Structure 1
């Protein structure tokens, strides 16, 4: 998930008034939340307010996380069951939230859309309802979301192996259905200004390139080193694609010279613990560690490449 507003935001209080966002040179290397149990799988950085946001698989709330780990509910809604991936659209001051439901066997695939200034819910889009002839036993998990410059959102459904498209009028459709039997999974997603998506498949260590105007012409990106376990992805400030591995305790960077038809590994950062995705702060990347299987406080770490 990673090019990440109200989902766990952690604000560096000393630079709250900086118009150009938090200076990564002064950001803490490690932030520990004041409590555990909220399980933030997604993280974003809101440059308009110089803060980090995280979601919560446990209660759906979007939290701001301050530099000393304090949790401030930024967005609350009875419609948010399990907020997974989140994405800030800074030009429109909107937060997009991939909303699932871990409390029912069929799960859910929804997209919550929120005004970042007020916290108002602008829409809750039922993505699953857009599937033609949906099987009665269909199961869903809205995982991550990316947004184009035009304000069009794209959401991965990991269980159905579908990418949904939501236009600026909040109308949902299926962009591409790979089929539940596809060998690869769908997790992190990013939009490239040239008009294509990049999807991460953790289990197979692959990236998938999908042209949004002709999605059936999708292709696997030729990687010199597999992106093993990569969960969330995010565009770094140098134009590289950073991926966060959920089973290798590391983040990786890839560069491409041919418009992401192939890519080469150019950087790696290692740390302790399991992370899921990252957020960009200036020239730095911070990863979130949710603590899925215990009640220890989640952490936000600077990935040192």
Structure 2
């Protein structure tokens, strides 16, 4: 379902301004190359690495206007998928830039973060309204990865119960645990929702209001916790699945300004895509993500939002929020 391009300017303005506040630097924690590994399934097979090597370093979409905030690499089918804030449709972006609708559903208002769940043949979609306009929405779309058919559309915001009449919602990103439980962030409510195997939703954790907090990207670690980025203050939070009240801020050498998408790299590093600094940062930890150090950085030009792990590489997406006529780009980054 299309929305007016003028709304995209509002969304882009938020992304550009939400991360302007600075925080004092803290000493960098010691980190070793033998960092805490990402979940075992993040390790690419040799065939996947070979396929990654054959992919172009840069893919330019054949048209603009759809504004892809989220990107994923479907390794089972060897294809890039993006969401669309402007149209809702999830697209397959081919190597030559041509586009095919992978998921088209009338209830997809704005597909933001997306997650491929290959073991269960599912594509998970954070389904939102236009950021900054009205009350928005927070829903989870679940679709067949193979056919694109809808499996479920879950109203996440409904689980909050009694909220103010003017409450606003924005489902932003989504991840899946080893057991199939799905977790999603709501940037405007600063909530993490969870959805079980029967598609029953509940509130996993609601952060206490604090200045600059704006929950965004998240990943699941197989040791039983989530890592969640805050766009507003550049922090990353560790949230134990079995005891969310024990959520804590990961000690970082510096705030991750404009922290947007999070993705596990094949080597176990946590990759943070900044939408304001022109930098992708690989973090590593040797203490179970109580703290983390910077392992490598990859500069880029323009503005990017999220990343995808494709074989041994990280690709980022450039959505061009403020220029609906620009052609979105999926680009491989090089770490230094």
Would you call these one fold, judging by a TM-score over 0.5? Answer: yes
Cα distance in 2 between the residues matched to 1:234 and 1:52: 15
1:298 to 328, 331, 334: 328
Give the CA deviation at 1:268.
Answer: 0.4
Equivalence map 1:5-154=2 (5 Å)? 20=48, 23-102=51-130, 104-154=133-183
Cα distance in 2 between the residues matched to 1:209 and 1:183: 17
Match of 1:162 in 2: 191
Match of 2:274 in 1: 245
Give the CA deviation at 1:179.
Answer: 3.8
In structure 2, do the counterparts of structure 1 residues 66 and 22 end up closer, same or farther at CA, with 3 Å as the change threshold?
Answer: farther
The aligned length equals 288
2:253 to 220, 224, 241: 224
1:189 to 212, 215, 218: 218
Cα distance in 2 between the residues matched to 1:22 and 1:76: 31
Match of 1:202 in 2: 231
Kept in 1: contact 2:67–2:85 (CA 8 A):
yes
Cα distance in 1 between the residues matched to 2:94 and 2:77: 12
CA deviation vs aligned residue, 1:188-212 (integer Å, no higher than 9, x gap): 0000000000000122111000001
Q: Which runs of 5+ in 2 are unaligned?
A: 1-45
Kept in 1: contact 2:48–2:311 (CA 8 A):
no
Could you say which structure has the higher helix fraction?
2
Q: Which runs of 5+ in 1 are unaligned?
A: 1-17
Match of 2:243 in 1: 214
Cα distance in 2 between the residues matched to 1:144 and 1:177: 15
Cα distance in 2 between the residues matched to 1:97 and 1:182: 28
Give the CA deviation at 1:118.
Answer: 1.4
Give the CA deviation at 1:183.
Answer: 4.0
**CA RMSD, Structure 1 to Structure 2 (Å):** 1.4
Cα distance in 2 between the residues matched to 1:178 and 1:233: 19
User: 1 or 2 for the larger relative contact order (CA 8 Å, sep ≥6)?
Assistant: 2
CA deviation vs aligned residue, 1:114-173 (integer Å, no higher than 9, x gap): 011111100000000000312211100000001001110000000000000101110000
Match of 1:266 in 2: 295
Cα distance in 1 between the residues matched to 2:213 and 2:286: 25
Cα distance in 2 between the residues matched to 1:162 and 1:105: 18
Cα distance in 2 between the residues matched to 1:131 and 1:195: 24
Kept in 1: contact 2:258–2:274 (CA 8 A):
yes
Kept in 2: contact 1:21–1:49 (CA 8 A):
no
Give the CA deviation at 1:230.
Answer: 1.4
SS in structure 2 at match of 1:112: strand
Which of 24-33 and 189-198 deviates more? 24-33
CA deviation vs aligned residue, 1:224-245 (integer Å, no higher than 9, x gap): 2321111000000010100100
Which of 172-181 and 142-151 deviates more? 172-181
Kept in 2: contact 1:29–1:301 (CA 8 A):
yes
Match of 1:12 in 2: none
SS in structure 2 at match of 1:269: strand
Could you say which structure has the higher strand fraction?
1
Cα distance in 1 between the residues matched to 2:241 and 2:71: 25
TM-score (norm 2): 0.83
Kept in 1: contact 2:260–2:273 (CA 8 A):
yes
TM-score (norm 1): 0.92
